[in-house]
């Protein structure tokens, strides 16, 4: 049971990453739109900025449907286009069904001076429904994805063939959606009360709550379960809610993006920002750790270690993708990883105590662009960077001390630096021939095509479910370009880096060819 729950949680987190990956583009788009509307800009630029802002706001205000379609498509093993269409249909008919039920039972809330804020209801795509925000998209996306995989391959005889396959999934989802539309009218207000209670607890926990959240978010990365921690706080009511222009915005990231859109009227940053500063460790922690590992490397190996770590450092600092760097020392020394998590928690707690309200969940690029439209008097971004410089030194000296004290064999401290490892942590921009060779090694190392059940990916990892984990050979996988291998139950995670989507596509294509031959 424990392994099944872990597998389900990992599948959810890797599926949820897919729509989240687009939000960073939206955030930068919003920041650019606000800059384009500054008073000294030419009227034409201001006009384009207004259009761009409305476009980005449309995405921000409809994250629920984006999560519904994104999750369903990510979960679907086959016929992903059909899965996306069904997800969209299910979302719309839920709104219609819920609105019809609320209307028939005289349960529709009346709009007040602040619209529907505080009533537990909201208007979505023209329907007044219970206000589940992104939770609605997550729930419908998970259910639709599961039902789609369960029934999308069912076919009927010639007379009823048109009702088989993906259409049968739609048929199955109609009564399910109807039941949900009615049931959630009564159940969701109770759940929402609990969510508000959890959110209130995290707020009253103050600095200690920030430490626990930040430590867990960093420490859980090897398991992939950190997504289950930061996503609810960033995109759902667990992270807080705020009324902006009569609309209820939920989640720390969503609230900040809305504040960006209304930066000219902003007088304070919402306290939920405490859950959206974990990019701090990605930027400053990465710098301190890399400098420490270069410092402690043997003199003859320093040049090779720089070539090994600097590309990963660049990706971590600029884009906020730290896994290639994390796995360069995680398995070598769990102690270093534990200390890394503690320093991360302390750093974000310190930022909160000192009054920094700077948004940062990815890397330096996203941090600078998004905060550029917020007054430094509100974001206190100067505190963010001042603390960053100090904590970089803390990471550096603590890691240098621990590495030397316990003689930890971080890169460059062994007798020689393996040239193949050096190759693995480069930018990963392999040619097609090399990619095919890597895919072949992956398949062989995973026990052959017949042993591979499903291939997915998150930000930087291939996540593969296998039938028999005893057939997995890490040595064979290690011969390909990769940055680390993690085995959890029957799930094998291969750390690739920024080119993971290309690696997944190459692997899936080769698998399809092999299974077609078989």
469 and 341 share a domain?
Answer: no
Residue 178 is assigned to a structural domain of this protein: yes
Distance of CA 517 to the CA centre of its chain: 36
Q: How far apart, in whole angstroms, are the C-alpha atoms of residue 232 and residue 275?
A: 10
Q: How far apart, in whole angstroms, are the C-alpha atoms of residue 413 and residue 423?
A: 18
Residue 450 is assigned to a structural domain of this protein: yes
Contact assessment for residue 224 and residue 10, using Cβ atoms and an 8 Å cutoff: yes
Of 463, 462, 458, 440, whose CA–CA distance to 513 is shortest? 440
Report the alpha-carbon angle 243-57-28, nearest 5.
Answer: 110
164 and 277 share a domain?
Answer: no
137 and 164 share a domain?
Answer: yes
Residue 124 is assigned to a structural domain of this protein: yes
Contact assessment for residue 388 and residue 288, using Cβ atoms and an 8 Å cutoff: no
361 and 505 share a domain?
Answer: no
Residue 410 is assigned to a structural domain of this protein: no
Residue 217 is assigned to a structural domain of this protein: no
Residue 183 is assigned to a structural domain of this protein: yes
| Long-range residue pairs from 118-126, CB within 8 A, at least 24 positions apart, any chain | 118/243, 120/188, 120/189, 120/192, 122/247, 122/248, 124/62, 124/64, 124/95, 125/62, 125/65, 125/92, 125/95
282 and 323 share a domain?
Answer: yes
116 and 26 share a domain?
Answer: yes
295 and 395 share a domain?
Answer: yes
334 and 380 share a domain?
Answer: yes
Q: How far apart, in whole angstroms, are the C-alpha atoms of residue 103 and residue 130?
A: 12
Of 135, 18, 12, whose CA–CA distance to 70 is shortest? 18
| Coil, strand or helix at 37 | coil
> Which of 352, 372, 405 corresponds to the end of one domain?
405
Residue 8 is assigned to a structural domain of this protein: no
List, as one string, the DSSP characters of 229-252.
HHHHHHHSGGG-EEEETTEEEESH
288 and 375 share a domain?
Answer: yes
Distance of CA 211 to the CA centre of its chain: 20
- Overall domain count for the chain: 3
262 and 305 share a domain?
Answer: no
> Which of 266, 297, 317 corresponds to the end of one domain?
266
Contact assessment for residue 438 and residue 496, using Cβ atoms and an 8 Å cutoff: no
Tell me the pLDDT of the chain (518 aa) as tens digits. Answer: 556 666 666 677 667 777 877 877 888 888 888 889 887 899 999 999 999 989 988 888 888 999 999 999 988 988 999 999 999 999 999 999 999 999 999 999 887 666 776 778 889 999 999 989 888 999 999 999 999 999 999 998 888 888 999 999 999 999 999 999 999 999 998 888 887 777 777 778 889 999 999 999 999 887 666 877 888 899 888 888 888 777 788 899 999 999 988 888 889 999 999 999 999 999 999 999 999 999 999 998 888 888 888 988 998 898 888 877 887 788 788 999 999 999 999 999 999 999 999 999 989 988 999 999 999 999 999 999 999 999 999 999 999 999 999 999 888 886 544 443 434 433 444 444 567 788 899 999 999 989 998 888 776 778 888 999 899 998 899 888 887 788 877 888 888 876 777 888 889 888 888 876 55
Asked whether the whole model's pTM tops 0.75, one would answer: no
291 and 376 share a domain?
Answer: yes
Task: Give the residue numbers marked as catalytic.
Answer: 458
| Full 3-state SS string of 114-130 | CECCCCCEEEECCEEEE
β-sheet bridge partners, residue 454:
465
153 and 246 share a domain?
Answer: yes
> Which of 405, 440, 467 corresponds to the end of one domain?
405
> What is the domain extent for residue 458?
430-517
Report the alpha-carbon angle 325-327-328, nearest 5.
Answer: 65
Residue 10 is assigned to a structural domain of this protein: no
């Amino acid at each position: 049971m424990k392994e099944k729950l872990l597998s389900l949680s990992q599948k959810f987190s890797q599926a949820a990453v897919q729509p989240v990956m687009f939000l960073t583009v939206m955030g930068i788009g919003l920041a650019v739109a606000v800059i384009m509307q500054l008073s000294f800009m030419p009227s034409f630029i201001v006009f384009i900025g207004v259009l761009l802002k409305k476009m980005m706001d449309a995405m921000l205000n409809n994250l629920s449907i984006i999560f519904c379609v994104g999750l369903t498509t990510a979960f679907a093993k086959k016929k992903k286009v059909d899965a996306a269409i069904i997800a969209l249909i299910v979302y719309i008919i839920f709104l219609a069904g819920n609105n019809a039920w609320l209307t028939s039972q005289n349960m529709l809330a009346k709009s007040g001076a602040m619209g529907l804020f505080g009533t537990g209801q909201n208007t979505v795509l023209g329907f007044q429904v219970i206000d589940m925000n992104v939770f609605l998209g997550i729930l419908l996306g998970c259910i639709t994805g599961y039902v789609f995989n369960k029934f999308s391959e069912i076919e009927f005889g010639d007379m009823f063939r048109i009702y088989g396959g993906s259409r049968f999934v739609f048929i199955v989802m109609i009564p399910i959606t109807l039941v949900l539309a009615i049931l959630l009218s009564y159940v969701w207000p109770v759940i929402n009360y609990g969510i508000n209670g959890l959110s209130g607890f995290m707020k009253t926990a103050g600095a200690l709550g920030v430490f626990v959240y930040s430590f867990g978010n960093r420490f859980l990365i090897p398991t992939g379960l950190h997504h289950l921690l930061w996503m609810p706080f960033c995109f759902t009511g667990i992270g807080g809610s705020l009324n902006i222009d009569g609309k209820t915005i939920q989640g720390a990231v969503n609230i900040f993006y809305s504040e960006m859109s209304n930066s000219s009227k902003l007088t304070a940053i919402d306290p939920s920002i405490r859950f959206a500063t974990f990019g701090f460790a990605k930027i400053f922690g990465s710098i301190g750790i890399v400098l420490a590992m270069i410092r402690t490397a043997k003199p003859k190996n320093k040049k090779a270690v720089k070539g090994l770590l600097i590309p990963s450092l660049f990706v971590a600092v600029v884009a906020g993708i730290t896994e290639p760097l994390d796995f360069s020392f995680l398995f070598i020394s769990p102690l270093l990883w534990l200390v890394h998590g503690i320093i991360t928690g302390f750093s974000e707690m310190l930022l909160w105590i000192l009054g920094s309200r700077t948004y940062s969940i990815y890397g330096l690029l996203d941090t600078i662009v998004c905060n550029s439209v917020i007054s430094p008097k509100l974001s206190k971004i100067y505190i963010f960077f001042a603390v960053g410089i100090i904590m970089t030194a803390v990471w550096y000296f603590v890691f240098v001390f621990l590495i030397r004290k316990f003689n930890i064999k971080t890169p460059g401290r062994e007798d020689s630096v393996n040239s193949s490892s050096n190759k693995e942590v480069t930018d990963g921009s392999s040619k097609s021939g090399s990619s095919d060779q890597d895919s072949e090694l992956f398949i062989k190392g995973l026990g052959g095509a017949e042993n591979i059940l499903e291939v997915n990916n998150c930000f930087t990892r291939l996540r593969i479910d296998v039938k028999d984990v005893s057939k997995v050979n890490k040595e064979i996988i290690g011969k390909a370009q990769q940055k680390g291998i993690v085995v959890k139950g029957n799930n094998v995670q291969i750390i690739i880096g920024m080119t993971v989507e290309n690696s997944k596509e190459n692997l899936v294509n080769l698998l399809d060819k092999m299974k077609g031959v078989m």
